[in-house]
Structure formats: C-alpha cells, structure tokens
Amino acid sequence: MKLLVTGAAGKVGQAFLPAFLNEQRFGGWEVVALCHNRAIATDDRRVSVVHGSMADEETVASALRGVSHVLHLAAVKESPDLAIDVALKGLYLLLEQFRLSSSGRQFLLLSGDCVVGHIFQDYAAPITEASQRRAYPGIYALTKVLEEVMLEQFGIQHGLKHTILRAPWIMEKDDFRYAFEMGEAQFGGPPWETLIDSETLAKMRDVGVFPAMRDANGGFLKRSFIHVDDLVEAILLSIDNPDACGELFNIAMNEPADYGRISSLVEKNGWGSPVEIKTPFHSNWLDNTKARKVLGWTPAIDLEGLVERAWNYRREDNDPRIVWYPG
C-alpha cells in the first residue's frame, strides 16, 4: 500500500507522519509527501517527497503514481489566490486522477467546523454530521464547504471511496494558551479590537488578563476544540477502514470547552486573572458520537488536559512558535 499525504509539513502533517510510520498496522506501507514550499523532517526510507503545487497536473500525476490512499491535509486560509489553487483546482486534479487510478482505494479529507459556522452560527441542538452546512463569511470556510461537497459528489458520481473528518480548532503544544493572549500578535479568532474598545483593551494588555468570553445569551461561551494527537488517532483509525468509507465524522472533544471552566482553571493555578468579555458569538457543541461508535475512537485529552499541557509547555530555542496560516 502507498499513502499520499498533502500538507505533510503542516501542523497536522508533522504530528501524523511519525505516528503513521510507528503504527504496526502500516508497517509495510510507503508514504509520498506532497509539499509546496516546506521541508519534511524525516529520514525514514519509506517516505518520498514530491515538491510542487497541487494546481499543477504533472505534479499531481507524479505524486499519485502507485498510490492506494490519499490523506488530504493541505489548506490555505484567507489567501484567495492560493485557496482557489489548493481547495478547488488542486483537489479536483487529485480526485479526477485518483478515481481513474487502478490502485486507488480510499480518499480521506480533513475538513473543519468552519463549514457549520461554529461560534458564528446558532444551533439549538448539538451539531451532528447531518446538520446543515452554514459557513461563516470568508474564503477559507467557503472552500471547506466546496471541498466536502466535491468529495461527496465524486463518491456519488464515480463511486470513489472517501472519508471526511471534520475537526474544530486544532491545538498543539502551547496553542491553547496563546489563543487567549491579548497581545497584538493574535493567534486565531476575531481581533480583540472588534470586541473591546481601544482604551479598555490597552489596559487589559498592560495588566495581562485572561479573556473569559460570554456568548450572545450571556452565558460563558462554549466551543469545540481538538488536540492534534487525538485528531491523528482518528485519522489512523479511518485509513483503510471499510466502515469509514462514504462517511463524514465530527472529530472533537467529548464536550465543548466552557470558557467559564477555563478561566477558573487558569485562575486556580495562578496563570491569570479572568475578565469577562461580552461577545456576539454562539455556544455550540460539535457532537462526536458517530466517530466514537463507528471508528471506536475516544479522545484522550479533555479540557483539563488541554489547559495543563498548554500552560505548562515551555518552548526551547529551536522550537519557535509557528502561526501556520494567516487570519
């Protein structure tokens, strides 16, 4: 068997590749990593690298040669020129050539909860795989909707065996702590300037507070997250799994993260003083029941574990913080 991984040098790809290579079940597999402009840190002889753009037909053909499974991780955020190449033209080329391949067995796509609008859209019940796609504004969310639909249609029109894993905000290392930083170099989420007046924000930055956000109804905001290690485990369980073919799975923590609980944990451990912030966002719950039942997957890292890992993580000089995508 041979697995093609796009975006292998990204956040998920860097965590996935060593986990896959160390998994006994995939001991005889080869891996092809398709990379545009990043390097792959591995000396494993089973891994070969193809450099080039997914929007180039010859590059795609070279990367797909002899491939039985594809894991499509590559993504671009809020860069329309690149997003169209990766999410639309690139994905179409991959799918069209893969469906015609005699060796093709399964195509896996990593999608995101942006397709259901996560905190931007209001849902009266937990968000399941049957919930309507209601993306928030922006090219990234739009392209993820189009990716899901394109892959589903290749399954319907051509019988292509596929699996979609829909993840919320993916955390690693100290990401979760950094997501709440009030500084100007903000990591993800709407800019603080859109929620807090400039004078108040300046004072918060001087003191160093923890933003305990409230939702549109006045309760503490609740939203779903996933640690990259738990996501990788779900991917491993989906590869070459007949029960996963033709299916969409929500891959999230068992319960959404409650910003009230987060602020209590941060304050309890002396990591910051919470300050409540009103927002127009909606509390939502990305339901992972289907993944737990069909894949036999269970996330190992709960909210307490996510907080503990993030606030206790200390970066070495050779471990710089990387913001993988702009926006």
User: Each residue of 183-204: pLDDT tens digit?
Assistant: 776 677 778 888 999 999 888 8
Residues 152, 275 within the same domain: no
Residue 290 within any structural domain of the chain: no
Residue of 204, 197, 225, 173 lying closest to 273 (CA atoms): 204
Summarised one tens digit per residue, pLDDT across range 89-121 is: 999 999 999 999 999 999 999 999 999 999 999
C-alpha separations of 33 from 30, 97, 99, 113, 263 in Å: 10, 17, 19, 25, 40
**Do 209 and 231 share a structural domain?**
no
Which positions ≥6 away from 169 have C-beta within 8 Å? 113, 179, 188, 223, 224, 225, 226
Residue 292 belongs to some domain of the structure: no
pLDDT of residue 82: 78
Contact 54, 81 (CB under 8 A): no
CATH number reported for the structural domain that contains residue 206 in this entry: 3.90.25
Query: What pLDDT score does 322 carry?
Result: 67
Residues 51 and 16 in one domain: yes
Q: Give the per-residue pLDDT at 47.
A: 93
Strands 169-171, 47-51: parallel, antiparallel or unpaired by DSSP? unpaired
Q: Do 184 and 246 reside in the same domain of the chain? A: no
Q: Kindly state whether residue 291 falls inside one of the protein's structural domains.
A: no
Q: Is residue 279 part of a domain?
A: yes
pTM of the model: 0.94
b/e sequence 97-133, b meaning 16+ C-beta within 10 Å: bbbeeeebbbbbbbbbbbbbbbbbbebeebbbbebee
Looking at residue 78, its pLDDT comes to 61
Q: Return the residue matching tokens 């690149």.
A: 82
Residue 313: other Cβ atoms inside 10 A = 15
Lowest mean pLDDT among 13-22, 201-210, 258-267, 268-277: 201-210
What was the pLDDT predicted at 320? 76
Inter-residue contact 120 to 281 (CB < 8 Å): yes
Beta partners for residue 226, in sequence order = 170
Residue 7 within a domain = yes
Q: pLDDT tier at 327 (50, 70, 90 boundaries)?
A: very low
**CA of 46: how far to CAs of 91, 108, 213, in Å?**
25, 20, 46
- 324 pLDDT more than 70: no
Q: What is the pLDDT of residues 48-76, one digit of tens each?
A: 999 988 889 999 999 999 999 999 998 87
Strands 209-214 and 247-250: unpaired
Burial of 320 (C-beta count, 10 Å sphere; 0-12/13-18/19+): exposed
Q: Which 3 state secondary structure label does DSSP give 21?
A: helix
Task: Encode burial over 265-296: b for 16+ CB neighbours within 10 A, e otherwise.
Answer: bbeeeeebebbebebebbbbbbbbebbbeebe
What is the count of structural domains for the chain? Answer: 2
**Do 167 and 308 belong together in one domain?**
no
- Does residue 246 share a domain with residue 182? no
Same domain as 148, residue 83: yes
User: Does any domain span residue 183?
Assistant: yes
Q: What are phi and psi of 4, to 5 degrees?
A: -95, 130
Q: How confident is the model at residue 181 (pLDDT cuts 50, 70, 90)?
A: confident
Range of the domain at 263: 175-223+255-284+300-312
CATH of the domain at 159: 3.40.50.720
Same domain, 102 and 132: yes
Claim to verify: residue 266 and residue 244 sit in the same structural domain: no
Residues 82 and 219 in one domain: no
For residue 186 the two structure tokens come to 């903000």
- My answer on whether 212 and 308 are in the same domain is yes
Structural domain includes residue 317: no
Q: Clarify whether residues 57 and 127 are in a common domain.
A: yes
Q: What CA–CA distance (Å, rounded) separates 289 from 296?
A: 10
